[in-house]
Structure 1
Amino acid sequence: MITTITLNPSIDRRYFIQDFRTGQMFRTTEYEDTAGGKGLNVTRVVHLLGSPVIATGLLGGKSGESLEEKLNQSGITHSFLKINGETRTCIAILSGAEQTEVLEPGPYVAEREVDTFRMHYDKLLERASVVVASGSMMRGMPVTLYRDLINKSKEKGIPFLLDTSGQALMEAIEAGPSFIKPNKEELEAASGILLKDDQDMIRAVDTLFRGKVETVMVSLGGNGALFLHEGSYYRVRIPKVLVKNPVGSGDSTVAGYAVGLEREYSFEKRIALAVASGTANAMEEATGHVNPDQVVNLMKQITVEKM
């Protein structure tokens, strides 16, 4: 069972407005809302790929109830801790090729609620084979929380995949997560190295993560990805595709990697599934959505080269 953690979930509302400009009033009949947060994007893709998954995190208020109902409608198993605060709402306005986002920070969570979640997480680990944690944390959560969750997982021998950034990521590195996925910009900021080519990225990854993380993926968008795994580097190249909506492709990539790990695929097949899942998401209108047949087709077109 793959367990996904979303520590700051949201209701994601998308409005489609032609010729959007600030300072004007617009009406739209085209909009959608989904259960959002990076971890829930991962959850949906794992579910679509056919692997068993349970989503957890913290939810509160009417927005939290709405989010749970959306997961129920999708047939996704979940076990969230209820808190006093109201789950956030995030808004995206899509106009032509541009997207404007308004992201709420999320509720403030009390220390006792964090402690209760730790106990809730311990129980979920009893049936977990892989843990995936993605995204930001709620206000009030200690910056070391991901590190603590990783340590609990490692005590039970369960791989822990982490997709976050900033200080939370750097704290978590000390616990040795099984997998992390910085993008080029995040790696550049963390290392202080100007990344002009693969060799620069290798130098930055070596400086920050070698000997601390089993697998590091540097996502390069349409240019594929670079992986460090158990001391060796791999370069992944992807076919050219028609991109409709790249939002959620990173989360879909993590989902594919988790599924490959849960199914005990070879490393090369695992990263092909990961990158194919991310690419397939970009070909869909919806965020955090893949066509499983398309994923299988893309895997055949992806090249994995050991450097």
Structure 2
Amino acid sequence: MILTVTLNTALDVTYRLPEVRRHGSNRVREVTRQAGGKGVNVARVLAALGQEAVVTGLAGGATGRAVRADLAAAGLHDELVEVAGETRCTVAVAEDTDTTVYLEPGPVVSAAEWQHFLAHYERLLPGAAVAVLSGSLPRGLPDDAYLLLVERAGAHGVPALLDADGPALLHGLPAGPAVVKPNIDELAAATGVQDPLEGAELLRAAGAGAVVASLGPDGLLACTADGRWRARPPGPLPGNPTGAGDSAVAALALGLATGTAWPDRLRQAVALSAATVLAPRAGRFDAGAYDRLLSLIRVGEIEPAHPQGEPCP
């Protein structure tokens, strides 16, 4: 079982229309609503791949009830912990050529609610092969929330995959997550350097076992104890990129659980991410495109710039 943690769950609302008229009225062609938050998207993708996934995190209020109802309708295993505050909504405005996303901050979580979640999380860990820790922290949680979750996973022998940014990412690194997955902008913000390979090595030096950086349409870069690789899709794909990074995380988590070699793990992550761009909603992917893309992903090893045999800094 792969345990996905979404501390700041959401009800994802997507408006689709051909083109937004700025400063004017817009008629929406289609509206969809579904349970969201990065870890929920990861669980949805894992379930579509035939893997057992459990969703935990925090949810509250009428929006939280809508999230849980959608999880039940999708057949996802719901282990969310209820809080008093109202779960947030996110709104994606998807045009034919672009997508704009609006993210509400989420509820304020009390210290007692956080302690209750930690106890619940510890009860779930013994059955997990991997713990996926994804997304922003709701208000009220400490900056080192992910450090505590990585540490507790490690105490149960469960590797953690951390997908966060800013202070939440940086505070989690000393606990030694097995994999962290920033995107290129998050990597630059966290390290203060623009070169993604240099930035990835800095995060490894700070405690991450491996760093996989999303380069958007240019694929993934990985710095690991076993080597460094670039994985590239065959070319840019039109569609909605929302959720593509979460699909990559799902593939990386599955690879971590099964011990798949890094080149194959990255190939699957890029193919699944690209197939998600071709699907209309986060947490979904075009299965036919995924199968076709797997053989088209180019994975190349990056030669080290330091003496052979030394690990990445």
> Is the structural similarity TM-score above 0.5?
yes
Question: Counterpart in 2 of 1:88?
Answer: 88
Maintained 8 Å contact 2:166/2:189: no
Question: Counterpart in 2 of 1:169?
Answer: 169
Q: How many residues align?
A: 302
Q: Deviations over 1:200-250 (max 9, x none)?
A: x32222233236211101111222221011152112122125321111111
Answering whether residue 238 of structure 2 is matched by residue 250 of structure 1, we say no
Answering whether residue 233 of structure 2 is matched by residue 238 of structure 1, we say yes
Answering whether residue 257 of structure 2 is matched by residue 301 of structure 1, we say no
The 10-residue stretch of structure 1 (215-224 or 13-22) with the greater mean CA deviation from structure 2: 13-22
What secondary structure is seen at the aligned counterpart in 2 of 1:119? helix
Match runs of 1:172-183 below 5 Å: 172-183=172-183
Maintained 8 Å contact 2:200/2:212: no
The 10-residue stretch of structure 1 (13-22 or 281-290) with the greater mean CA deviation from structure 2: 13-22
Question: Counterpart in 2 of 1:99?
Answer: 99
What secondary structure is seen at the aligned counterpart in 2 of 1:287? coil
Aligned in 2, Cα 1:243/1:97: closer, same or farther, shift over 3 Å? Answer: closer
Answering whether residue 60 of structure 2 is matched by residue 60 of structure 1, we say yes
Q: CA deviation at 1:267?
A: 2.3
Match runs of 1:284-299 below 5 Å: 284-299=279-294
Letter in 2 for 1:263: T
Match runs of 1:212-223 below 5 Å: 212-223=207-218
What secondary structure is seen at the aligned counterpart in 1 of 2:240? coil
Separation of aligned partners in 1, 2:181 and 2:104: 24
What secondary structure is seen at the aligned counterpart in 2 of 1:58? strand
Separation of aligned partners in 2, 1:269 and 1:160: 20
Answering whether residue 20 of structure 2 is matched by residue 20 of structure 1, we say yes
Question: Counterpart in 2 of 1:272?
Answer: 267
Maintained 8 Å contact 2:209/2:225: yes
The CA RMSD over aligned residues, in Å, is 1.7
Question: Counterpart in 1 of 2:307?
Answer: none
Q: Deviations over 1:130-185 (max 9, x none)?
A: 11011001100011110000000111111100100001100000111011112222
What secondary structure is seen at the aligned counterpart in 2 of 1:101? strand
Q: CA deviation at 1:54?
A: 0.5
Maintained 8 Å contact 1:44/1:288: yes
Q: CA deviation at 1:98?
A: 3.3
Match runs of 1:167-206 below 5 Å: 167-195=167-195, 201-206=196-201
Aligned in 2, Cα 1:138/1:272: closer, same or farther, shift over 3 Å? Answer: same
What secondary structure is seen at the aligned counterpart in 1 of 2:177? coil
Separation of aligned partners in 1, 2:236 and 2:224: 27
Maintained 8 Å contact 1:60/1:83: yes
Letter in 2 for 1:137: L
The 10-residue stretch of structure 1 (268-277 or 3-12) with the greater mean CA deviation from structure 2: 268-277
Separation of aligned partners in 1, 2:92 and 2:236: 24
Letter in 2 for 1:138: P
Maintained 8 Å contact 1:93/1:99: yes
Letter in 2 for 1:124: L
Q: CA deviation at 1:23?
A: 4.2
Maintained 8 Å contact 2:212/2:220: yes
Separation of aligned partners in 1, 2:101 and 2:202: 34
Q: CA deviation at 1:10?
A: 0.7
Separation of aligned partners in 2, 1:98 and 1:267: 32
The 10-residue stretch of structure 1 (90-99 or 52-61) with the greater mean CA deviation from structure 2: 90-99
The 10-residue stretch of structure 1 (247-256 or 223-232) with the greater mean CA deviation from structure 2: 223-232
The 10-residue stretch of structure 1 (42-51 or 285-294) with the greater mean CA deviation from structure 2: 285-294
Match runs of 1:105-184 below 5 Å: 105-184=105-184
Letter in 2 for 1:66: A
Letter in 1 for 2:92: A
Letter in 2 for 1:216: V
Q: CA deviation at 1:22?
A: 4.5
The 10-residue stretch of structure 1 (85-94 or 2-11) with the greater mean CA deviation from structure 2: 85-94
Runs of at least 5 residues in structure 2 that lack an aligned partner in the other structure: 303-313
Aligned in 2, Cα 1:149/1:25: closer, same or farther, shift over 3 Å? Answer: same
Separation of aligned partners in 1, 2:15 and 2:286: 23
Aligned in 2, Cα 1:305/1:93: closer, same or farther, shift over 3 Å? Answer: closer
Separation of aligned partners in 2, 1:17 and 1:202: 38
Maintained 8 Å contact 1:191/1:208: yes
Aligned in 2, Cα 1:24/1:75: closer, same or farther, shift over 3 Å? Answer: same
Separation of aligned partners in 1, 2:95 and 2:234: 27
What secondary structure is seen at the aligned counterpart in 2 of 1:149? helix
